[in-house]
Structure 1
Amino acid sequence: MTESVNGLPPHGLSTRDGVGPSCVGLPAGSWPTITDFLIERFPAIPREVWLQRMQDGLVVDEFGSAVTAGRAYRGHMRLYYYRALDDEPRIPFNEAVLYQDEHLVVADKPHFLPVTPSGPYLQETLLVRLKNRLGLDGLIPIHRIDRETAGLVLFSVKPAERDAYQALFRQRSVSKHYEAIAPWRPGMVFPVSRKSRIVEDTPFFRQLEVPGAPNSETHIELLQTRGDWARYALRPVTGKKHQLRVHMNALGIPILNDRMYPPVAVTPDDDFSQPLQLLAQSIAFTDPLTGQARRFQSRFSLTF
């Protein structure tokens, strides 16, 4: 299992090198000590690592009290701790800050870079890079895009203001435009609107279309053709995970260099020379805090 990152650090543990503490809930159980539970819950992390974290004061309960190696187990409580990665993959591409004020940061994310810490990525994430670069420990993403996708990501400078921006997404008051490179099918007629029901597939990180009431919608237009390939404009009405990739694949025009759609038995490793040709190109909305009209454009482009 992976360790999750909590967006709001507890009392006693601040941001460390741009990374906030992780959180794990303690369920009801009969483990002799908290250490025994952690070893069972995270089998990939050796006992020695947990003991060192505790010795360094880097594991606390939800009240800010330090957890020691022999502390008796008690359920229905949260623990906070710092993750550590010995061999974190380096993402050899750079982000850019396109806009910054007292409320908002707009970043241009390169392909392959995760937005937030997860799995094998901590420092090599857009959020942590920006925290370290800008000195903004409270920075928090307003929305996310896939690790494989390049383009615009919005961040709230003050966590308390995040919900005002997220409300725009919930109310579908944000205009988002993407571009994609995918096969050209002469028999297809554009523009087209794809509506379908998307659910979690197996393994969990993939998504799947199934019969039922639609919970996703994407508008797709043809922009340019070149041989067997074409450039498409994609406008998501909803924001389901992997929605654009699932819809393009379902139409028989999977996005160039997509490693998961159509599904494969084993997801290939990253190939930095073949990025997914999907770009979060522009975003527009009325700022809920200032009332100003905002429109941002990515500086990245797709090639085919």
Structure 2
Amino acid sequence: MAISAQSSKLSLPQTNPGVATVLEYLILKFPYIDASIWQQRIAEGKVHYHDGTAITAQSPFKAQQRIYYYREVENEPIIPFKEAVIFQDQHLLVAYKPHFLAVTPGGAYINECLQNRLRCSTGIADLQALHRLDRVTAGLVMFSVNPATRHLYHHLFEARNIHKTYQAIANVRTTEGLTGQQWEIKNHIAQASPKFRMGITEGPANSHSIIRCLQQCTKTQKALFELSPITGKTHQLRLHMQTLGWPILNDKYYPKLQPQSADNYATPLQLLAKSLKFIDPVTEQPRHFWCEHSLSLS
């Protein structure tokens, strides 16, 4: 049994969804966790309020209360790839995340995530991810080191003041010369079914990307693309490559959801967060970080 060393937290919603107790809300909120597990966690004192007071099976639901709990999984997979710290100062840490490693705890992963690994290796218990990458995507992730300046870096992302570029490889199956061509994609992205997938639907555009072909190999019918997201919708780049008719190589979600299966480390999703560029809100100096790893058509 793997148990998180760090607590997870949630705030009870303003509108009561029709429950009487905190326990009932947790069972409703997490339908894939058996009710008996929440009952056991509460009985063992593993669920508590902000002040440390234990929650009981009879604790009433009260809007906006903060609830803390410790995630557990029966068998946590070990990801056999190594992260690397690219940059670190007293405010910011930038790291390379390998394919298949989650950024933060989620699903079957508690301790095997980038944030936990870096907390252990650096000794910085307050280290916190400032943004996310899909578990199957590799590349650069920024972390806040100092809680006092964390809000400044969060604002960079909220205000879209960070220029991010990615690389992706796709099967193109065309004799048309694509190298040097550029496409601007705008469409409406909304949650699809199952809920972890997104879809392109009717409606005003809420997603925007610029995609350029860097290299094409007619022999293998593959091409290397540079992707610049202007907005940051979930799975945006994966959907925008699909929009062009070139879904990213080894994508198990798009265009068609593949049956659930164990990770195949030999065929990672060919998507890499390559660079981050912004004006540092603390030093007011330009920052440009890039990943030494690259995707290759060979």
TM-score, scaled to structure 2:
0.85
**Which residue identity is paired with 2:175?**
P
What pairs up with 1:89-128 in 2 under 5 angstroms?
89-128=77-116
Counterpart for residue 188 of structure 2: 197
Alpha-carbon distance, 1:22 to partner: 3.5
Partner of 1:10 in structure 2?
none
**Gapped runs of 5+ residues in structure 2?**
none
Q: State the identity as a percent.
A: 42
* Structure 1: stretches of 5+ with no match in the other structure: 1-14
- What corresponds to 1:142 in structure 2? 130
TM-score (norm 1): 0.84
Superimposed CA distance per residue, residues 23-79 of structure 1 (whole angstroms, 9 cap, x where no aligned partner): 363847665x76566567656346477446644x4322234212346x454543443
Structure 1 residue ranges, 4+ long, deviating more than 4 angstroms after superposition? 26-31, 33-43
Specify which of 75, 80, 100 is matched with residue 87 of structure 1.
75
1:131 corresponds, among 100, 119, 130, to 119
CA RMSD between the two structures: 2.6
Which moved further from structure 2: 101-110 or 170-179? 170-179
1:246 paired to 2:235: no
Q: Which residue of 2 aligns with 1:213?
A: 204
Shift of 1:175: 1.6
1:214 is displaced (CA, Å) by 1.3
Query: How many angstroms apart in 1 are the aligned matches of 2:200 and 2:103?
Result: 25
Distance change in 2, residues 1:205/1:35 (3 Å): closer
Question: Could you tell me how far apart the structure 2 residues matched to 1:104 and 1:156 are?
Answer: 5
* Residues 188 and 205 of structure 1: CA distance in aligned 2, closer, same or farther (over 3 Å): farther
Q: CA deviation at 1:213?
A: 1.8
Q: 2 CA distance for matches of 1:298 and 1:194?
A: 25
Q: Deviations over 1:143-176 (max 9, x none)?
A: 1111111000001112342221122223332121
- Structure 2: how far apart are the matches of 1:181 and 1:34? 46
Deviation at residue 139 of structure 1 after TM alignment = 1.2
Structure 2 residue 12 is the aligned partner of structure 1 residue 21: no
State the distance in 2 between where 1:244 and 1:103 align: 29
2:151 to 156, 163, 170: 163
The alignment covers a number of residue pairs equal to 286
SS in 2 for 1:248: helix
**Of 279, 284, 290, which aligns to 1:291?**
284
SS at match of 1:159: coil
Select between 270-279 and 256-265 the one with higher mean Cα deviation: 256-265
Offset at residue 123 of structure 1 (A):
0.5
Conservation of the 8 A alpha-carbon contact between 1:150 and 1:300: no
Tell me which residue corresponds to 1:12.
none
In structure 2, the residue matched to 1:152 is: 140
Partner of residue 237, structure 1: 230
